[in-house]
Structure formats: C-alpha cells, structure tokens
Amino acid sequence: MSNIKDALYRELELKIATNVEGISFDPHIFKPLDLGGRYQEVHHLCFEMAYETHVGILFPAGFRSPHGLIFNLRWDRRSPYSFILEKGVYYLAHHGEFLFPVEFLDRPNYYGLKTTDGSSMNVIAGYAQEGALAVAYSNECALKEKDHDCKFCNINATKAAYGEAEGVGWKYPKQVGETVGAAYRDGARHVTITGGFVAERREVEYYLDVADAIKEHTGLEDFNGTACVGAPHDLSIIDKYKEAGYRTIATNIEIWDRNIFKAICPGKELQCGGWEHWVKALEYEVEVFGRGKVRSVIVAGIEPKDSTLEGIEYLASKGVICLASSWNPNPGSALEGHRSPEPAWHIDLHKKTTAIYRKYGFTYEELYDCSAVPTGICHDIYRIEEETLPVFKAKVA
C-alpha cells in the first residue's frame, strides 16, 4: 500500500501544479473526442477557470490520473504542462515529455435529459463528480452595480462571455427540482445551491422554494443540500435555511486578513456588514447547523500563507470547515494577469490545512457534505490516508 500512496502523492503534486500553472494545448485538440456524448463537457455555471476564454469551443470537464485522482482542466498556453494527442491517446506532458495517459470524465446520464419546460439539465446543474451537483441559480453578481465586485472574481465577465452561447441564465425552482431528482435517481447524493449576490430577501425566498422543489422531485426530506449564501444582516434568517431542509450551509469569507479583505472584497465590506459580521455569521451558522456542517472558503494565494492558516485554524476551532482554494487569476477579474504562488506554496498549505482538519476531528464525510466540489486537495489527502480510493480496493481484490 505504501507504493500506491507514494504514487498518489506524486500525482497529487501534479494536480496542484496543473491547477496553478494550467495546461497548454491547441484549443481544437479535443475535436476527435466525443464531448457531449461519452465524455463530460465544461459548462460555465459561475466562473471561467481557464486563463482565457474559449467561447464556442468545448473543453472536457476534467480527467483522471492513472491512480484515479480527478484533475481540473485549466487552460494556459504559457504552461510547461501540456496535452499531447498521439495515435488516438491523450497524454499529460511536462516540457514535452509524457507523464501519463489521461482518462477524461464520463458524462452523467442526466446531462442528456430536459426539464418539463424544455431546458437542458446540463445547464441547470453541473456534475462535480463523486455524486455531487452544483446549481448556480444566478450567473451574475449584483455587487457590480456599485463597482464592488471581489477583485479575484469573474462571475460577471463569465456571464457576459458565455451567457448567450451556453444558454446561461436564472434557474427556476421547478427546473432545479426536476434536475436534482433525475440526477439523484442516477446516483447523485449531494447538491450545492450557489450564485452571485442578489437582494437578501429574494435570496432566502428562492432557497426555500428550491428546497421544496428538490424534496418534491427526490422524495427526500433530507436531500443533503448545501445552501451557499452571503452573510445576512439579520442572522436569524440563517435558521430558515435549516428549517427548509438544507443539511449544511456555506458562507465564503474569501480573505482572512481584515485589511486585505477590505481591499479585495469591497462589496462584502461595504454592503454586507464587513469582515467581523462575516465571522459572526459563520459562528452563528455553527450554532444552528452544528460543528462540521458549516463551510467557508479562503482564496489561497492572495494574502500571506500564515494569515490563511490562521483563518482556517480559528474557524476550525469554532466548528467551521474552511477550504483553501488555489487561486488562479481568472480572465475578466480585476486581478487578471497576476500570478498565483508557486505550486510548492500551495502543496504546503493544503498539507497544513488537512492537519488542522484532523486536529479538530473533521471527517471525510463532513468535508464531502459541505463542499461544492468534493475532489479538492484535502479531500484527496483524506482518501489517500484512509485508503478509500478505488485503487486501494482494486489492489486488495
């Protein structure tokens, strides 16, 4: 088993490196691939995660390494990593030297279905792998109205680039309920509802309606849903999400250093109560939902590492699972063209973050239940150490 773990950790380092540095390729390299048929294609639910846009050109949603880790696909023509197509096989390469053949992700069955109003389900809920769905009900953020967008965020630029081409728009509760119902019948078991900022009253009413629709179409009172919301001015509103049937809740603080928070997240500072209110909201969410049932995110690489780890540790001590997402400067964001820290910086951060989770007793299932994407680096470390990835079972067999 130690040989398998060693191989997995080598692949994990490559996963982090390609997250940060991207992968270079001719955007038309995937023409021979059955994207939208056998293989899952990218749909831009909230953000463009590549380093440049590719309107009208389909990319795969991701790929697997030889030992089963799921990699993101972030296109960057400048990267030393690349895809090479040779004799019908796609390879991940580094400076032109083959590393391993890649296995693109299968398209889920519900992607080929439509809601009763004729909407394609693959636009309503994206499949985030491992049985997890993500619904971006709003593909734009109202903070733009006062030029208060978070500086790292490109949600509005993504809507402008892909909205018409991909049919991106508001998702209605019945559409969401029907899509989640179809996906759950196909084996899905978790859904995150998220989106850009909308008026607070409109947000809570929408989430309640969506919960009712999901329960109707799945037949489940506990549908294992995460409500990803902004910090409400009236914290008692948080109780309503619990009453509606969401198992977990997420409020993303983004930056821990309160002064950097003011500069990078001006809308959250000026329109949403500021850093202290966001922390209070997270602590209140733990009171309502319980330890390990609340999630936040820090965009890792914008502030010093020590500051990020301080935030993760503090929130963990209060019962909040704070994820560190490796920052890549998105196209259309105010920080486009900046550089994320080198991969080794992120590797060290994720290892220390996982140690904090274990210190406070968080389980893999708790990470899974509160995460929009259950294939993060810390998720992988848990599954490597606990030997629960399929490759371990195959070895035993």
Res 48: pLDDT: 94
pLDDT category at 1 given cuts 50, 70, 90 is low
Report whether 312 contacts 321 (CB < 8 A): no
- pTM reported for the whole predicted model: 0.96
Nearest to 111 by CA among 38, 170, 58: 38
Instruction: Tell me what pLDDT residue 121 has.
Output: 97
Q: Which amino acid is at 73?
A: L
Question: Which residues 6+ apart lie within 8 Å of 366 measured at CB?
Answer: 292, 293, 321
| Interval 246-289: pLDDT, tens | 999 999 999 999 999 999 999 999 988 999 999 999 999 999 99
pLDDT in tens, 285-337: 999 999 999 999 999 999 999 999 999 999 999 999 999 999 999 999 999 99
Q: Any idea which fold 114-393 has? A: TIM Barrel (3.20.20)
The residue extents of the domains of the chain are: 2-104, 114-393
106-111-115 Cα angle (round to 5): 170
Confidence class of residue 199 from pLDDT cuts 50, 70 and 90? Answer: low
- pLDDT per residue as tens digits for the range 148-172: 999 999 999 999 999 888 877 889 9
Q: What number is the average pLDDT over the span 354-369?
A: 98
Q: How many angstroms separate the Cα of 357 from the Cα of each of 253, 255, 320?
A: 18, 19, 10
% of the chain beyond a pLDDT of 70: 98
Token match 């083959």: residue? 98
**Is it the case that residue 212 has pLDDT exceeding 80?**
yes
